[in-house]
């Protein structure tokens, strides 16, 4: 066996997260052979997370299975979400698990490397040295990305590509993904095609597929993704995009089959379970949908991915199955698990209304409606579209037409460019025998939203930039989840800074608008373009 020189770890801060005392002794001995003296040990997540909160380690060696509490994958996800790792920190996942399912599932959380027990000195030092060198070289780019200085990150990437580097393909991929993130599809496409001209790289095919998808060329995206996933069961991100593409093409059967295959390979991905559940629900496969949302809730409960949506979906599915008690149980779970979220708790109570109504408990539903109508009207702009549509019909049936109208007006204002949602809003009135009134409400709310867009642009063109900003700011208060309005407002704020100079408060408001729009409409090209303009004009993050 080749005896490589040991690295010098005398000044390296290392955290070892391992529940087995014998393995801790083995790792202590191995690390000491390279001079490591600044080594801290934690036996579980309860001990590890506080240490990660207080220190920024150079390397973390973490066992995958840690008994009670979070496992290694969940600790990594939380540490990344809360930015508890330095840009140069190396995370090595350690496990005795050799099954393809476990290895693939663990790699989804993207540790820097995966070490199989038993760990030898050569294996540990080779992998650790390689990843520490890689992380050290890429750390300035990582820091720029964390600071949301994407143009700076692109420039740093180009600088490293301009000289000999052992990280050529990492850098090319980073550069292309950054270009895609800032909305420069043409530049990203050029890099992906250049990479594919040199070798057949799955990530470059996936990048091209994303561009096709985001630009509405779903058939081309499907062809690219099928090329990537054919015979490559482990490239799960490509399977997710293929399912999303098939959904857009209306092929729900194949989309569900693709996700089912991905979940067979790696079943512990909460977001994929949710995607699987939604497609199964729309296909009428309610039992499969219920199982998927239950797994999503259980998987996400102790992670940063915990959110209200899967609980609401599970309640919706159980109600459709005629299982009112199970629907109420899902809502009760939501109230407990997200007790700190006022909107989630309101939704949990409000969505009991259709459950009670379906169960024949009309008076109970009516009492709850009267109790919550004020809160629902006041928080209409905070409620998700599906929840509003789910509530509006029973509210109408129980005589709370004004509350239903308030909810639907907010829904239309935030989604005035989505014909399907507009038709569903009209259908609520039509089912109550008020079709004309529904058409009038939707037309009025759509016109108000459109006029708000146009008026802001008109004022800006007339040179009344301050008035335009105040106008769109007021419109944003009424329609806080309208992506186009958010981006229009951000555009005006950036234009103001281009005219009058940098202002941190204005820059922060613009960034908030862009990020909210991107969350509501992922991959929106204009959002990326505005991020670039904001970075250029504001220079509000140093560098």
Helix-helix angle 525-538:483-500, to 10 degrees:
20
User: Is there a domain that residue 527 lies in?
Assistant: yes
Token digits of residue 189: 């496409």
Give the count of domains, the chain.
Answer: 2
Which tens digits make up the pLDDT trace of 164-216?
Answer: 999 999 999 999 999 999 999 999 999 999 999 998 888 999 999 999 999 99
Residue after which a domain boundary falls, among 146, 168, 196: 146
Residue after which a domain boundary falls, among 146, 173, 198: 146
Which tens digits make up the pLDDT trace of 314-373?
Answer: 999 999 999 999 999 999 999 999 999 999 999 999 999 999 999 999 999 999 999 999
Judged on CB neighbours under 10 Å (0-12, 13-18, 19+), 309 is: buried
pLDDT band at 66 (very low <50, low <70, confident <90, very high): confident
Domain of residue 34, CATH code: 3.40.50.2300
User: Is there a domain that residue 21 lies in?
Assistant: yes
User: Is there a domain that residue 338 lies in?
Assistant: no
User: Is there a domain that residue 42 lies in?
Assistant: yes
Across 156-182, b (16+ Cβ under 10 Å) vs e yields: bbeebeeeeeebeebbbbbbbbbbbbb
Which tens digits make up the pLDDT trace of 101-121?
Answer: 555 555 555 788 888 888 889
User: Is there a domain that residue 371 lies in?
Assistant: no
485 phi-psi bin (left φ>0, alpha ψ -120 to 50, beta other): alpha
User: Is there a domain that residue 432 lies in?
Assistant: no
Percent of the chain exceeding pLDDT 70 equals 96
* 3-state class (DSSP) for residue 89: coil
Q: Give pTM, 2 decimals.
A: 0.87
- Report the chain's mean pLDDT, rounded to a whole number: 91
Cα torsion for 303, 307, 313, 318, to the nearest 10°? 60
User: Is there a domain that residue 55 lies in?
Assistant: yes
Residue after which a domain boundary falls, among 146, 174, 200: 146
- pLDDT at position 1: 41
User: Is there a domain that residue 50 lies in?
Assistant: yes
Residue from 49, 74, 54, 72 nearest 13 by CA:
54
Domain ranges, residue 132 = 14-146
């Amino acid at each position: 066996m080749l005896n490589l020189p040991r690295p010098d770890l005398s000044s390296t801060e290392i955290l070892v997260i391992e529940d087995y005392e014998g393995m801790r002794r083995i790792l202590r001995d191995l690390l000491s052979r390279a001079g490591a003296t600044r080594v801290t040990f934690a036996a579980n997540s309860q001990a590890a997370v506080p240490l990660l909160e207080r220190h920024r380690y150079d390397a973390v060696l973490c066992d995958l299975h840690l008994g009670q509490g979070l496992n290694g994958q969940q600790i990594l996800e939380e540490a990344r979400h809360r930015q508890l790792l330095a840009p140069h920190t190396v995370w090595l996942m350690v496990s005795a698990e050799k099954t393809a399912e476990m290895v693939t599932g663990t790699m989804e959380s993207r540790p820097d490397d995966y070490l199989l027990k038993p760990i030898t000195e050569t294996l540990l030092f080779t992998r650790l040295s390689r990843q520490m060198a890689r992380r050290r070289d890429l750390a300035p780019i990582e820091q720029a990305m964390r600071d949301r200085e994407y143009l700076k990150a692109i420039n740093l990437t180009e600088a490293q590509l301009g000289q000999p580097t052992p990280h050529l393909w990492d850098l090319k991929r980073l550069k292309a993904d950054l270009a895609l993130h800032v909305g420069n599809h043409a530049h990203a496409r050029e890099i992906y095609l250049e990479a594919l001209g040199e070798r057949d790289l799955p990530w470059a095919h996936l990048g091209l597929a994303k561009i096709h998808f985001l630009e509405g060329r779903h058939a081309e995206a499907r062809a690219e993704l099928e090329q990537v996933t054919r015979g490559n069961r482990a490239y799960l991100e490509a399977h997710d995009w293929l399912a999303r593409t098939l959904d857009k093409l209306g092929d729900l059967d194949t989309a569900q089959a693709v996700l089912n295959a991905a979940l067979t390979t790696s079943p512990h991905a909460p977001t994929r379970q949710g995607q699987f559940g939604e497609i199964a629900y729309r296909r009428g496969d309610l039992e499969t949908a219920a199982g998927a949302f239950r797994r999503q809730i259980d998987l996400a409960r102790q992670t940063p991915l915990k959110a209200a949506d899967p609980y609401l979906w599970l309640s919706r599915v159980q109600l459709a199955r005629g299982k009112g008690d199970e629907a109420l149980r899902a809502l009760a779970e939501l109230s407990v698990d997200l007790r700190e979220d006022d909107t989630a708790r309101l939704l949990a109570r409000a969505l009991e209304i259709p459950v009670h109504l379906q169960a024949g408990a009309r008076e109970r539903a009516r009492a709850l409606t009267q109790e919550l109508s004020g809160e629902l009207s006041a928080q209409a702009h905070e409620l998700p579209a599906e929840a509003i549509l789910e509530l509006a019909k029973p509210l109408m049936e129980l005589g709370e037409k004004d509350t239903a109208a308030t909810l639907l007006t907010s829904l239309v204002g935030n989604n005035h460019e989505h014909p399907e949602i507009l038709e569903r809003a009209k259908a609520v009135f039509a089912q109550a025998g008020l079709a004309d009134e529904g058409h009038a409400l939707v037309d009025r709310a759509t016109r108000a939203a459109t006029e708000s867009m146009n008026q802001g642009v008109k004022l800006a063109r007339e040179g009344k930039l301050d008035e335009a900003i105040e106008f769109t700011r007021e419109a944003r208060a009424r329609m806080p989840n309208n992506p186009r309005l958010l981006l229009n407002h951000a555009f005006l704020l950036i234009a103001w800074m281009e005219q009058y100079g940098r202002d941190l408060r204005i820059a922060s408001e613009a960034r908030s608008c862009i990020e909210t729009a991107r969350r509501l409409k992922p991959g929106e090209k204009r959002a990326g373009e505005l991020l670039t303009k904001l970075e250029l004009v504001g220079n509000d993050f140093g560098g």
